[in-house]
Amino acid sequence: MACIGSTLIPRIVNKVTLTGGNWEVLGRNVWFDRLRQLVYFMALRETPLEKHLYVVSLVNPNQLRLLTMPGFSFTVEFNDVRSFSLLFRSPQDCTLFLQTYCNISTLPSWELIRIRHDADGNSNGCSLPPVDTLELISVGYLAEGGPSENTQYNPSIYSPQISTGEVLYAMVFKPHNFMLGVKYPTVLNVYGGPEVQTVNNTFKGMRQLRMHMLASQGYCVICVDSRGSRHRGVEFESYIRCRMGTVELSDQVEVLRILADQLGYIDMDRVAIHGWSYGGYLSLMGLVQYPDIFKVSIAGAPVTSWEYYDTGYTERYMDLPDNNRSGYAAGSVLNYIQKFPDDRLVRANKPYQLQVYPNERHSLRNLEASKHYETKLLSFLQNHL
């Protein structure tokens, strides 16, 4: 390391590529076994829907090994002492880790794993072991999950290919009262913004409570990760750069139509769009861009104009306003006010409700407010969808 002023500058002797391919390495989850020159890391090589642990040799970069079981998604913590920087954690000797794993229909398990290496490379450090000689030994479970109750209510994951050739992922919650031959009112639960993935092979529990609540009341609920969502690579995520709000819904609606044709129980005459934050923003844009698709829109805490939103967030994805005037204008809900119903809505006795929670911030924090919102949401859908 070289010190310039108060800044440490690393001396890079050589750059070596350890991995390659059209898949993402999770940069916050990297551990280095200095003794054996092995790098452990989390990545999504098998599928964008599952996080797995891999190991690669620093000496022989062509040696890459998957250490966790496909069909589940994992989080891992090694036996390291966390440094001040969470970006890179480096124990001297990676011999023990805790893995947490689950999938869409299986509750999480917590298992302690010990890594045993070939004795030739384990003691004197002269012979570095290849990655295929290390052995994983289960020490025991802190908690062992199993299949969720009422497995018939578990959501299903679909991977339709849209007209541009990309494969997108969608999650469908069937109505609990499902019967063949019946078409059901459908709620498109949307987020659609950058750096968020809503569809993956994990058990989400309480985070999907609203979807299960709606499904229990006879609604089909659909979530789609459109282009711009997380864990699909820079090109995929950059699709919405400088044009947020103008392109996401075309993917969402195309997938909705594909699923309606494929499944046969989605009532395309009774589709609602609902979301919060960026999802609330797209719920408003849904009325602007696809009034023929969405009969009902429920928008929670939406962005209405990027020009007036938090600059730290907005300019990261939309550039400076002076550099992207057309993008800011096209993505502003305020520029489409004429497409929203005005006083004519009242005169025509059409449903419109504004619900204000004066003591809340961007997200609802108070339990009573959250319960009230869920009741309001369900009531609006039951009355108008």
Domains and CATH numbers, the chain: 25-143 (no CATH), 151-384 (3.40.50.1820)
Lowest-pLDDT range of 25-39, 298-312, 361-375? 25-39
The pLDDT of residue 174 is above 70: yes
Per-residue burial over 296-326, b if 16 or more Cβ lie within 10 Å, else e, is bbbbbbbbbebeeeeeeebeebbeeeeebee
Q: Which residue has the higher pLDDT, 12 or 190?
A: 190
Closest to 61 in 3D by CA, of 90, 20, 26, 91: 20
Mean pLDDT of the chain: 90
> At residue 200, what is the residue type?
N
Q: Which of the four pLDDT bands, split at 50, 70 and 90, describes residue 267?
A: very high
Give phi and psi for 270, each to the nearest 5: -135, 75
CA–CA dist 123, 57 (Å, integer) = 17
- % pLDDT > 90, the chain: 72
User: What share of the chain has pLDDT > 70, as a percent?
Assistant: 91
Which among 212, 217, 378 has a CA at the least distance from the CA of 298? 378
- Would you place residue 5 in the very low, low, confident or very high pLDDT band (cuts 50, 70, 90)? low
Q: Show the tokens assigned to 82.
A: 């966390």
Q: Is the pLDDT confidence value at 295 over 90?
A: yes
| pLDDT of the residue at 57 | 92
Residues 6+ apart with CB under 8 A from 224: 168, 169, 170, 171, 188, 190, 198, 199, 251, 252, 255, 256
Please report the pLDDT score of residue 83 as a whole number: 41
What pTM does this model have?
0.89
What is residue 121's predicted lDDT score, i.e. its pLDDT?
46
Of 3-12, 251-260, 261-270, 294-303, give the lowest mean pLDDT range.
3-12
Instruction: Give CA–CA dist 353/384, Å, rounded.
Output: 11
Place 87 in a pLDDT band, splitting at 50, 70 and 90.
very low
pLDDT value at 8 more than 80: no
Instruction: Note the pLDDT tens digit of each residue in 125-136.
Output: 446 667 888 899
**pLDDT mean over 315-327:** 97
